[in-house]
Amino acid sequence: MAISRNDIEKVALLARIKVDEDQITVLEKDLGNILDLVDQLQSADTSQTEPMAHPLDAVQRLRPDVVTESNQREAFQAIAPATKNGLYLVPRVIE
Amino acid sequence: MHDKTVAELSIALESGQVSSVELTQHFLDRIRQDDSRYNAFITVTEEAALLDARTADERRQQGKATPWTGIPFAHKDLFCTNGVRTTCGSKMLENFVPPYDATVTSKLREAGAVCLGKTNMDEFAMGSSTESSYFGATTNPWGERRVPGGSSGGSAAAVAARLVPAATATDTGGSIRQPAALCGITGLKPTYGRISRYGMIAFASSLDQAGTMTRTARDSAMMLNVMAGHDPKDSTSIDRAVPDYTAELDQPLKGLRIGLPKEYFTDQLSATMAQTVRNAIAEYEKLGAAVQEISLPHANLAIAAYYVIAPAECSANLSRFDGARYGYRCDNPKDLLDMYTRTRAEGFGSEVKRRILVGTYALSTGYFDAYYLKAQKVRRLIQQDFIDAFGQVDIIMSPTSPSPAFVQGEKTNDPVTMYLEDIFTISTNLAGLPAMSVPAGMMDGLPVGLQMIGDYFSEARLLNAAHQFQQVTDWHQMTPVR
């Protein structure tokens, strides 16, 4: 199945990945080939089949609602690109 | 000393024939001398290793040693190691130093094993050749310019080159078994949920599973003994008792039922590969096993299902790399969107970006049912094929990969050709079954792996079968180095 330049630009924005003009042509071919490969799926009759999300069909376990972790803000922020007063710094979002 | 197995080294340590400090220094020296040829390691933790070795020797003197106390090994560089950088083979995590240990890391640490460093891998475990690493490709010790397979190519090359006796690895679509096959070592991917994924940097969470890379099945059993078990920190880990995986190694194989999927032994398979694998299976017949043909009718759809499910899960998992909290951030972002999009464009390599884009597409409005839901349904058909097969046989056997180690650069320009490398391994991940690759022959001077797939939680049976094979063959003892 072909994928258009327009589709690639849209998906790249959804995925938050900047894609340059010259890369779009390469991606058109590569993603088109991958989608051709996965289009084989359409040949399978799955009208009576439930989708499978977990190999053992396990469900999420619940645990008692008690505190198990201690606060490690300093340790976690020590590896952040930019912090100030215990907050993560990013470019201005609200004017 | 580097030709000894983990089991042999464990005995040598216990008898006082060698100390962990001596052993650790010996392997560190080998890494320093030889790894420039292979690039199997991203980080070598010499100082920490020698400290851990000293502690291990003291612990042994106090009579508190486990079989792993003082044994050197390496971690694939996606297991978080507290205080030691963990890159996942990516520029995105080039300077990431985790503030915690993965559960696998803690378990091996508690057993007293000595970590020598972190091994190279395809970026975020996406690849079959260890060529997509930001830290350069790893070379297969068996042949100049040959790939070691991937994504756990650094771990496989390190074990094959005798730089460590064992290494951790992970397998999402074949990333333990295929490099084990291409490097001539023993690789085990356990049942999904057998080993905790906590602290393993996630690629495709419903497929990822940690496992072992060793030279022998006995060493693999010893390693699984330490790594397996339920973990409250991983909601998908299975709460089920861990047996002693070495206990059944010596059981005879008489009556073992082996199935050969007719969909794997087709004209597509090279005659030499088919013959090499059939010769290995003939050894099992001599050991008393009965071989029969079986069918996995949906086998041809496994790659298609995988290349929807794995990219979809990867696109969700890798959305966490946003430049805000840890990892790479682009220079001088002009606004938040610019920070996200340039951080991710500059921090990820091309294969990772390709998969994120495919996954995002498959999950986007209007395509979800046609791709993701359809793939999940086909996934169940593939699982049902295996359930039916295990009604007739105990172990399914096939080649691990379609060919031995290929030449570097041969498949990098065509993603789909690279994907076909995992044609025999991927369906096991989709079904969540345990599987191994054991050295089973040579082709053109390069190792060939035999894949063995078992029913859920039958790791002990697989290891038993692999061990018995290794008692009557010497492929696992072949070495590319002195």
At B129, the amino acid letter reads S
What is the pLDDT confidence band of residue A69, given thresholds at 50, 70 and 90?
confident
Q: What is the DSSP letter of B406?
A: P
Q: Which residues of A touch B454 (CB under 8 A)?
A: none
Nearest to B304 among A10, A38, A52 (CB): A38
Cβ pair B37, B138 in contact under 8 A = no
**Nearest Cα residue in chain B from A54:** B206
Question: Around Cβ A86, how many Cβ atoms within 10 Å?
Answer: 8
What's the pTM value of the predicted model, to 2 decimals?
Answer: 0.97
Q: Which range has the worst mean pLDDT, A59-68, B129-138, B416-425?
A: A59-68
Nearest to A81 among B329, B354, B377 (CB): B329
Mean pLDDT throughout B220-226?
A: 98
Using CA atoms, how far apart are residues B479 and B162, in angstroms rounded to an integer? 9
Burial of B243: CB neighbours in 10 Å, binned 0-12, 13-18, 19+:
middle
Smallest CA–CA separation between B117 and chain A, in Å? 21
Q: Which of B239, B358, B413, B427 would best serve as a mutation to test chain A binding (most A beta carbons within 10 A)?
A: B358
- What's the pLDDT tens digit per position in B119-134? 999 999 999 999 999 9
Predicted pLDDT of residue B124: 98
Q: Which structure tokens are listed for B418?
A: 């690279």
Cβ pair B104, B95 in contact under 8 A = no
Q: Would the pLDDT of B477 be above 90?
A: yes
Instruction: Kindly indicate whether the ipTM for this predicted assembly is greater than 0.85, answering yes or no.
Output: yes
Predicted pLDDT of residue B441: 97
Cβ B298–A3 below 8 Å, yes or no?
Answer: no
Q: Would the pLDDT of A56 be above 90?
A: no
Cβ B192–A3 below 8 Å, yes or no?
Answer: no
Please, which residues 116-155 of chain B have a Cβ atom closer than 8 Å to chain A?
Answer: none
Does B232 contact A at CB distance below 8 Å? yes
Predicted pLDDT of residue B51: 98
Does B331 contact A at CB distance below 8 Å? no
What is the pLDDT confidence band of residue A58, given thresholds at 50, 70 and 90?
confident
**Nearest Cα residue in chain B from A95:** B335
Cβ pair B34, B481 in contact under 8 A = yes
Predicted pLDDT of residue A2: 78
What is the pLDDT confidence band of residue B28, given thresholds at 50, 70 and 90?
very high
Q: Would the pLDDT of A68 be above 90?
A: no
Q: Is B151 a catalytic residue?
A: yes
Predicted pLDDT of residue A94: 81
* DSSP-based three-state secondary structure for B25: helix
Using CA atoms, how far apart are residues B440 and B449, in angstroms rounded to an integer? 5
**Nearest Cα residue in chain A from B329:** A81
Q: Would the pLDDT of B482 be above 80?
A: no
Query: ω into residue B36 within 30 of 0, thus cis?
Result: no
Mean pLDDT throughout B210-236?
A: 97
Nearest to B304 among A41, A55, A80 (CB): A41
Using CA atoms, how far apart are residues B397 and B454, in angstroms rounded to an integer? 9
Q: Would the pLDDT of A95 be above 80?
A: no
- What's the pLDDT tens digit per position in B173-193? 999 999 999 999 999 999 999
What is the pLDDT confidence band of residue A1, given thresholds at 50, 70 and 90?
low
- What's the pLDDT tens digit per position in B103-123? 999 999 999 999 999 999 999
* DSSP-based three-state secondary structure for B248: coil
Predicted pLDDT of residue B223: 98
Using CA atoms, how far apart are residues B157 and B337, in angstroms rounded to an integer? 40
Using CA atoms, how far apart are residues B23 and B303, in angstroms rounded to an integer? 43
Q: Would the pLDDT of B74 be above 70?
A: yes
Using CA atoms, how far apart are residues B448 and B430, in angstroms rounded to an integer? 24
Cβ B354–A30 below 8 Å, yes or no?
Answer: yes
DSSP B311-346: HHHHHHHGGG-SSSSSS---SS-SSHHHHHHHHHHH
Q: Which residues of B touch A22 (CB under 8 A)?
A: none
Predicted pLDDT of residue B417: 86
- What's the pLDDT tens digit per position in A19-47? 999 999 999 999 999 999 999 999 999 99
Nearest to B335 among A31, A76, A91 (CB): A91
Please, which residues 50-109 of chain B have a Cβ atom closer than 8 Å to chain A?
Answer: 96-97, 99
Does B196 contact A at CB distance below 8 Å? no
Mean pLDDT throughout B23-29?
A: 98
Q: Which of A48, A52, A89 would best serve as a mutation to test chain B binding (most B beta carbons within 10 A)?
A: A52
What is the pLDDT confidence band of residue B413, given thresholds at 50, 70 and 90?
confident
Could you say which of B106, B151, B220, B458 is catalytic? B151
Q: Would the pLDDT of B350 be above 80?
A: yes
Mean pLDDT throughout B283-298?
A: 98
Using CA atoms, how far apart are residues B437 and B382, in angstroms rounded to an integer? 21
**What's the mean pLDDT when you consider all of chain B?**
97
Nearest to B374 among A33, A41, A75 (CB): A41
Predicted pLDDT of residue A93: 84
Using CA atoms, how far apart are residues B86 and B178, in angstroms rounded to an integer? 23
Q: Would the pLDDT of A53 be above 90?
A: no
Could you say which of B175, B196, B427, B437 is catalytic? B175
Cβ B338–A91 below 8 Å, yes or no?
Answer: yes
Q: Which of B441, B404, B445, B446 is nearest to B421 (CA)?
A: B404
Using CA atoms, how far apart are residues B170 and B175, in angstroms rounded to an integer? 6
Q: Which of B49, B450, B128 is nearest to B303 (CA)?
A: B128
Can you say whether residue B368 is alpha, beta or left, with left for phi > 0 and alpha for psi between -120 and 50 degrees? alpha
Predicted pLDDT of residue B324: 96
Cβ pair B303, B423 in contact under 8 A = yes
Predicted pLDDT of residue A59: 79
- What's the pLDDT tens digit per position in B301-325? 999 999 999 999 999 999 999 999 9
% of chain B surpassing 70 pLDDT: 100
